[in-house]
Amino acid sequence: MRPSLLGRFVRRLALTTALGLAATGLAATAGTGPAAAAGTLQQVTGFGSNPGNLAMYEYAPAGLAAGAPLVVALHGCTQSANDYFSHSGWQKYADLWGFAVVFPQTSSANNSSSCFSWFDATKDTRGKGEAASVVQMVNTAAAQYGSDTHRVFVTGLSAGGGMTADLLAAYPDVFAGGAVDSGLPAQCATTLTAASGCQQNNQNLTPAQWGDKVRNANPGYTGPWPRVAIWQGGSDYTVYPVNATELRDQWTNVWGIGQSPSATQTLSGGTTLSVYNDTAGKPAVELYSVAGMGHGLAIAPGSGADQCGSTGAYFLNTICSTYHTAKFWGLDGAPSGGGTGSLPAPTGLGVTGTTASSVSLSWSAVSGAASYTVYRDGAAVGSAATASFTDGGLSGATSYGYTVAAVDSAGNTGARSAAVTATTTGTPVQCFTASNYAQVAAGRAHQSGGVAYANGSNQNMGLWNTFVTHTLAQTSPGYYVIADAGCPA
């Protein structure tokens, strides 16, 4: 975000953490020389004229096949490429599904808080500055790995999210899709002085006016347009939630579709997914709203298929956004929005029972189906021979979204059903002990006038600093109470 807004914040942050780490201990390779060693994060030099004065880092799993996708991942302010590589979870899915990742890095030489310059028209537009440097990195990596240039994607956090939106607008011919995490609409600000207004305030523009900012970034381009995922915390007081609405308005307008969702779904971590389909019925824009989450990237540490990342400043334990973003882009190899077979989507999917650890489902049988695949929060979790299924091993008092698809005798999967939401029984209480400063940074509290208040209950926690510590219990999504006397979990 803009330096004047972040300056005081970064000085406070230095009391407890060192986010502005340069990537250290990383070997450098020349962009025109041998391929970087697979399986490690490597710096690449000589990737072009580099008008934006950026550093290029890349990761690829061993044995990466030619024709694989390529992802560009942009860090947030005060972060480095190594921070994003270490915490975001992109390495896990690059290894699992087979694709390369480029991690551009800016520095304090470009911006005092090491922010990408999403607000500077001399740096974030087509052919200029940092935007041009990122595209040079794409060209270098694509040539090095033999990447599929029709499957290049870009994602970013905070200022990196703002730059992601700008890149999607300036280079829709380069990027097939993007994900803006706690970021801003394309070309919301074109000067430093206008940046804070974008971060905190409604710009009162119509969807068409937002869409024009994209269309004007590359005049004459008529499509195809990138498919865009938007991630936003409901308690983000750095980049306010209105930005997600504006991003939704911008990209649905570019696609020529309305602002009413085609479908909604409840995911883990207090997340609501709103899907906006194109005229062919395929998701074009997806908005993920995470209740109670502050400013940062949504991650969910663990070994499950839909778990990823590690916690840290601006890496918040809620839901693995990287997993859902990669699935939305089709990086798992599955087509987005439907299967390969001709069987119709099952109808009548409903919840027949729940316990603290299981959900039972049933649906209407499909003629010609040999079996059915059941999906939880977008990931396949089991197969059923008949039109019913019980999903076990779940967390108590948690909402899950389910769909089901019929599979024919040749193993071809048909279209997925409409989604239903099931909530397991039990009481989901989680407790977090940290300084008032850290509680605010994690999105569990907010500050006003130098005093911290618990989100939801608004209980006074005392001074907003690193010296006062409290335990907060989350009794419902986004609702926290002081629990210093003992966690009720």
The pLDDT assigned to 429 comes to: 66
Specify whether 445 is located in the same domain as 415. Answer: no
What domain range is 84 assigned to? Answer: 3-329
Specify whether 112 is located in the same domain as 228. Answer: yes
Last residue of a domain, one of 270, 297, 329: 329
The pLDDT assigned to 428 comes to: 60
Specify whether 450 is located in the same domain as 395. Answer: no
Number of domains in the chain: 3
The pLDDT assigned to 378 comes to: 67
Other beta carbons within 10 Å of 15: 11
Specify whether 270 is located in the same domain as 383. Answer: no
Instruction: With 0.75 as the threshold, say if the pTM is over it.
Output: no
Residue 399 falls within a domain, yes or no? yes
Specify whether 417 is located in the same domain as 436. Answer: no
28-30 and 42-45 strand pairing: parallel
Residue 1 has pLDDT above 60, yes or no: no
Express each pLDDT in 282-313 by its tens digit: 899 999 999 999 999 999 999 888 999 999 99
The residue-averaged pLDDT of 349-353 equals 93
Of the candidate ranges 65-74, 180-189, 213-222, 409-418, the one whose mean pLDDT is the lowest: 409-418
Q: Which residue of the set 114, 117, 147, 158 is catalytic?
A: 158
Query: Does the active-site annotation cover 117?
Result: no
CATH at residue 373: 2.60.40.10
Residue 192 has pLDDT above 60, yes or no: yes
Residue 141 has pLDDT above 90, yes or no: yes
Residue 250 has pLDDT above 70, yes or no: yes
* Percent of the chain with pLDDT strictly greater than 70: 89
Residue 336 has pLDDT above 70, yes or no: no
The residue-averaged pLDDT of 211-223 equals 94
- Calpha distance 366→345 (Å, rounded): 8
The residue-averaged pLDDT of 56-81 equals 94
- Calpha distance 299→320 (Å, rounded): 4
